Amino acid sequence: MPQAPDVPVLEARGIVKRFPGVRALDGVDIEVWRGEVHALVGENGAGKSTVMHVLAGVYQPEAGKIILDGAPVRFRNPHDAIARGISVVFQELSLVPGLSIAENIFANRQPVGPLNFIDRKRLNADAAELLRLFDLDIHPATPLRRLSMGGRQIVEILKAISQRPKVLILDEPTSSLSAGEIRLLFENIRRLQDDGVSFIYISHHLPEIFEIAGRVTILRDGQRVDTCNVSDVSEEDVIRNMVGRELVNMYGARRTPVGGTLFQIENGGRGSVFNGVSFGLRRGEILGMAGLVGAGRTEIGRAIAGIEPLDRGQMQLDGANISVKSPCQAIARGIGYLTEDRKEQGLFLGLGLRENVAAPSLARFAGPFGLMRDRAITQFAAAARDQFKIAAASLHRPVSQLSGGNQQKALLAAWVGTQPKLLIVDEPTRGVDVGAKSDIYARLRALAAEGIGILVISSDLPELLGLCDRILVIRAGRVAGEFDRQSASEENIIACAAGVQLNPQGKTGCSI
């Protein structure tokens, strides 16, 4: 039956969802019209993910109703929601690295021939057509494990698009995408809008909300605060409603002078990934590292931390030559590394906050005969919870049940617990709301004030510009330029990262 023009394609009315000790949603309403991009924002823990899981059939609400095309529906499971036209791109990707790109896109929906065997030719042809939406010149039979995080995120998006949904829910869809990939994503969203597809767009990146969405619903503490036209509000209005307070100077300011040289790398290299990398980092300095996806930023950080060690070049820490061949050696020498992927590489999701914050520094809690001093671990974890403002009622609650912002704070607390001299933080606020960002920036500022050198690897240029004393730009595995606070700008950094020659006023610090 055709949808009436004055009826939303999807509505949630009075949704209530409880978890043990938590009322995650308290009478939440949201409506989405045909061809609309409706943004959903709020701090971590505000209820965004719970709304998404209810609409996707993952959670069953205790009260309220879901209305699709004007008629009440009940989604018993995610397959039921997909069959009715509701698809989701989750922030935690649901892909299988050992399968091909095409097999992931059409998982459980592969085209078959007369004898019910998978039609590989058609499978790859259909996948290739979807890949062209993002200008990806890669064979669909390529194993997914060969793709970067950004490439995998695109495959997840294409998997949802291939289901031809009425409503597509996107949860932090740009968290691993380059600027060019984000542009293509938005182009595809607008094309699908023209075809009548509706979107619920969940993101912490407010500039994206103001570029792509028509309306925005703001959640706080499991309740809807407001729904308004994006054209009628400012970013400051949205932030104020999200956090319930003013956030002034979120990045903070330097309170103490920078000291002498703490760390130096000379002509560092690893395989064909990066080569001839040289830079220094001073005590108490916050040094940023920018660059396009694939430039080698993360690989440089992982090499310094001994995860994928240097195979050429030298490093010095505190004026002494050091060789770091493993993370254990890095920790022993005073180097900490906070990974960009907290779910896969950073946290033990099934364990509690207590075990996670103590994990990188267990040696400090060892008693006689190697036995762990449980009371010392508990005291340390409780102090970390307070110091880093981690919202966890119990130290034993699995970190998988914490919000993204609290998980990120737990990961930072764990590495600060190793008492590093040099702390490398890779995408320190990815998938984190503005309130948690403010808390994380304050902690990084405080650590720098204590004399710790901090290397911030980030794709978020406002973050680098607001937080860092200097910014290095990495291009094709080399240091392409360096900017101080006076010469740094988004235009200069992007041009340097892309190898574009600017006018004489715009090329300061970049060796193109």
Tally of domains in the chain: 2
Do residues 142 and 78 both lie within one domain? yes
507 has pLDDT over 50 = no
Q: Classify the C-alpha dihedral 125-187-235-438 as positive or negative.
A: positive
Residue 475 phi/psi, 5-degree rounding, is: -140, 125
In a domain, 78, yes or no: yes
Nearest Cα neighbor of 90 from 38, 43, 52, 45 is 52
Higher pLDDT, 163 or 283: 283
Question: Domain check: are 216 and 271 in the same one?
Answer: no
| Burial zone of 390 (CB within 10 Å; 0-12 exposed, 13-18 middle, 19+ buried) | buried
Question: For residue range 257-301, what is the model confidence (pLDDT) as tens digits?
Answer: 999 999 999 999 999 999 999 999 999 999 999 998 778 999 999
Structure-token pair, residue 354: 């207590």
pTM exceeds 0.75, yes or no:
no
Question: Strands 223-229, 22-32: parallel, antiparallel or unpaired by DSSP?
Answer: unpaired
CB atoms < 10 A from the CB of 172, how many?
23
What pLDDT does residue 247 have?
A: 59
Residue 417's CB is within 10 A of a number of other CB atoms, namely 20
Of the candidates 69, 81, 86, 84, the one whose C-alpha atom is nearest the C-alpha of residue 34 is 69
Indicate whether 252 belongs to any domain.
Answer: no
Distance CA 346, CA 498 (A): 30
Alpha helix stretches (DSSP H) within 244-319: 297-304
Question: For the segment 213-232, what is each residue's pLDDT rounded down to a tens digit?
Answer: 999 999 988 899 999 999 99
3-state secondary structure 340-378: CCHHHHHCCCCCEHHHHHHHHHHHHHECHHHCECHHHHH
| Same domain membership, residue 289 and residue 154 | no
- In the predicted model, what is the mean pLDDT of residues 362-382? 87
The answer on pLDDT for 505 being more than 80 is no
Residues 234 and 315 in one domain: no
When pLDDT is averaged across residues 177-193 and rounded to a whole number, the result is: 86
State which of 243, 274, 294 marks the end of a domain: 243
In this model, does residue 508 exceed pLDDT 70? no
Supply the pLDDT for residue 498: 78
Collapsed DSSP state (helix, strand, coil) of residue 49: helix
Q: Both 230 and 302 in a single domain?
A: no
Q: Please give the C-alpha separations between residue 317 and each of 73, 304, 324, 472, in angstroms, as whole numbers.
A: 62, 11, 11, 19
Please give the helix or strand (H or E) that residue 191 lies within, else none.
helix 179-194
Judge whether 196 lies within some domain.
yes
Task: Tell me, yes or no, whether 272 and 212 share the same domain.
Answer: no
Q: What's the half-sphere exposure (Cβ side, CA atoms, 13 Å) at 415?
A: 29
Q: Is 103 in contact with 109 (CB distance < 8 Å)?
A: no
CA distance 413 to 415: 6
Q: Are residues 179 and 313 in the same domain?
A: no
Residue 293 maps to a domain: yes
Mind listing the pLDDT tens digit for each residue in 67-107? 999 999 999 999 999 999 999 988 777 788 889 999 999 98
Instruction: Determine whether 9 is exposed, middle or buried from the number of CB atoms within 10 Å of its CB (0-12, 13-18, 19+).
Output: buried
Do the beta carbons of residue 101 and residue 93 sit within 8 Å?
A: no
Last residue of a domain, one of 178, 209, 243: 243
Render 404-438 in DSSP notation, one character per residue. Answer: HHHHHHHHHHHHHTT--SEEEEESTTTT--HHHHH
Binned at pLDDT 50, 70 and 90, residue 512 comes out as very low
pLDDT tens by residue, 464-476? 999 999 999 999 9
- Confidence band for 501, pLDDT divided at 50, 70 and 90: low
Asked if the structure places residue 377 within a domain, the reply is: no
Tokens 């290739």 -> residue: 128
146 and 210: one domain? yes
**Is 337 part of any domain?**
yes
The pLDDT confidence band at residue 502, using thresholds 50, 70 and 90, is: low
Helix, strand, coil fractions of the chain, as percent rounded to 5:
35, 25, 40
Assess contact for 425 and 448: CB atoms under 8 A. Answer: no
- Residues 82, 166 share a domain: yes
Q: Which amino acid is at 457?
A: I
CATH code for the domain in which residue 41 is found: 3.40.50.300
Q: Which of 189, 210, 243 is the last residue of a domain?
A: 243
Query: Which two structure tokens, joined as six digits, stand for 475?
Result: 């291009």
Taking CB atoms within 8 Å and a gap of at least 24, the contacts of 55-61 are 55/10, 55/12, 55/81, 55/86, 55/88, 55/167, 55/169, 55/200, 56/81, 56/86, 56/88, 56/169, 57/81, 57/86, 59/17, 61/15, 61/16, 61/17, 61/25
Mean pLDDT, rounded, for 430-451: 88
Is residue 158, in this structure, part of any structural domain at all?
yes
Phi-psi region of 221 (alpha: psi -120 to 50; beta: other; left: phi over 0): left
Helical (H) or strand (E) element with 186:
helix 179-194
In a domain, 146, yes or no: yes
Structural domain boundaries enclosing 334: 261-347+402-408+415-498
| Six-digit token string for 400 | 């998988």
Contact present, 56 and 74 (Cβ < 8 Å): no
Q: Is the pLDDT of residue 504 over 70?
A: no
Mean pLDDT over 416-429 rounds to 95
Q: pLDDT exceeding 70 applies to what percent of the chain?
A: 96
> Nearest Cα to 352, choosing from 284, 406, 298?
406
Q: What integer best gives the mean pLDDT of the chain?
A: 89
Contact 306, 327 (CB under 8 A): yes
d(CA 454, CA 321) in angstroms, rounded, equals: 19
pLDDT band at 21 (very low <50, low <70, confident <90, very high): low
Three-class DSSP category at 391: coil
Same domain for 291 and 333, yes or no, is yes
Q: Is the domain of 118 the same as that of 34?
A: yes
C-alpha 95, offset from chain centre: 17
Continuous segment of H or E residues that includes residue 127: helix 120-131
- Other C-beta atoms closer than 10 Å to the C-beta of 4 total 9
pLDDT at position 245, please?
Answer: 62
Give the residue carrying structure tokens 């605060």.
225
Q: Are residues 167 and 270 in the same domain?
A: no
Alpha-carbon span 241 to 41, nearest angstrom: 10
Q: Are 296 and 273 in contact (CB under 8 A)?
A: yes
